[in-house]
C-alpha cells in the first residue's frame, strides 16, 4: 500500500537509454520554453506524437495522404524527472509494451542531450482505424511487423 493509503502505484522512475529499442532525435525550439525557462509540459506530448509518427514514416508504414488506416491517440500520460530547455537536443526512446489486435501502447523516454537517464517518461496508445470511418480495424500486417521490432529488441 502506498503512503497515501489508497493503493496507488509507486511513481515512475527515469529509465536508462538501453531500455529503448529505437531513438528519434528532435530539437527544442525557442518557443518551447515557458515563463519558468524550461520546456513546458504540453510540448512533451508533441515530442511523443512526433517521434512515433516519424518512426512509422521512416519505416514506410504511414503515408499521410493515402494510408487506408490511421492511428489515433486514445491515451497518453507523462511523468517528469528533470527539465529540458532550449537549445537542448531531445532523444526520444521508443519501445512497444503492448500490441493488440488494433491497438499499440508505446512507452517513450525523453532524454536531454547525452544524459544517460530520462528527463521524462510517458506512454501513448494508438488505435488503428479505417481512415474514412475512423472505426477500429485490425492492424495491417506490415505495421504490426514494424511495431514488433520495437518490442522484440527488448526481449
The owner of cell 491517440 is 73
The per-residue pLDDT for 154 is: 62
The tens digit of pLDDT for each residue in 105-125 reads 999 999 999 999 999 999 999
The tens digit of pLDDT for each residue in 80-89 reads 999 999 999 9
**First-to-last CA distance in the chain?**
30
Q: Is the pLDDT of residue 2 over 60?
A: no
The domains located in the chain, with CATH, are 17-152 (3.10.129.10)
User: 46-80 b/e with 16+ CB inside 10 Å = b?
Assistant: ebbeebbebbbeebebbeeeeeebebeeeebebeb
The per-residue pLDDT for 13 is: 85
Q: Is the dihedral of CA 126, 120, 47, 144 positive or negative?
A: negative
The owner of cell 521512416 is 58
The per-residue pLDDT for 1 is: 40
Res. 12 pLDDT band, cuts 50 70 90: confident
Which of the pair, 50 or 10, is modelled with greater confidence?
A: 50
Average pLDDT over residues 2-26: 80
Q: 3-state SS of 33-98?
A: ECCCCCECHHHHHHHHHHHHHHHHHHCCCCCCCCCCEEEEEEEEEEEECCCCCCCCEEEEEEEEEE
The tens digit of pLDDT for each residue in 29-75 reads 999 999 999 999 999 999 999 999 999 999 999 998 998 999 999 99
**Reported pTM:** 0.89
Edge-to-edge strands, sheet with 89-99: 22-27, 89-99, 103-112, 120-130, 69-80
Amino acid at each position: 500500500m502506498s503512503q497515501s493509503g489508497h493503493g496507488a502505484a509507486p511513481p515512475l522512475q527515469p529509465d536508462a537509454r538501453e531500455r529503448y529499442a529505437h531513438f528519434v532525435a528532435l530539437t527544442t525550439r525557442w518557443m518551447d520554453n515557458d515563463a519558468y525557462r524550461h520546456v513546458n509540459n504540453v510540448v512533451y506530448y508533441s515530442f511523443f506524437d512526433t517521434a512515433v509518427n516519424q518512426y512509422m514514416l521512416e519505416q514506410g508504414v504511414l503515408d499521410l495522404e493515402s494510408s487506408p488506416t490511421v492511428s489515433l491517440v486514445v491515451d497518453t500520460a507523462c511523468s517528469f524527472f528533470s527539465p529540458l530547455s532550449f537549445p537542448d537536443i531531445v532523444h526520444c526512446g521508443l519501445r512497444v509494451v503492448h500490441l493488440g489486435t488494433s491497438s499499440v501502447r508505446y512507452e517513450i523516454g525523453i532524454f536531454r542531450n547525452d544524459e544517460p537517464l530520462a528527463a521524462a517518461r510517458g506512454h501513448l496508445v494508438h488505435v488503428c482505424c479505417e481512415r474514412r470511418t475512423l472505426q477500429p480495424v485490425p492492424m495491417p500486417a506490415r505495421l504490426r511487423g514494424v511495431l514488433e521490432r520495437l518490442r522484440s529488441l527488448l526481449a
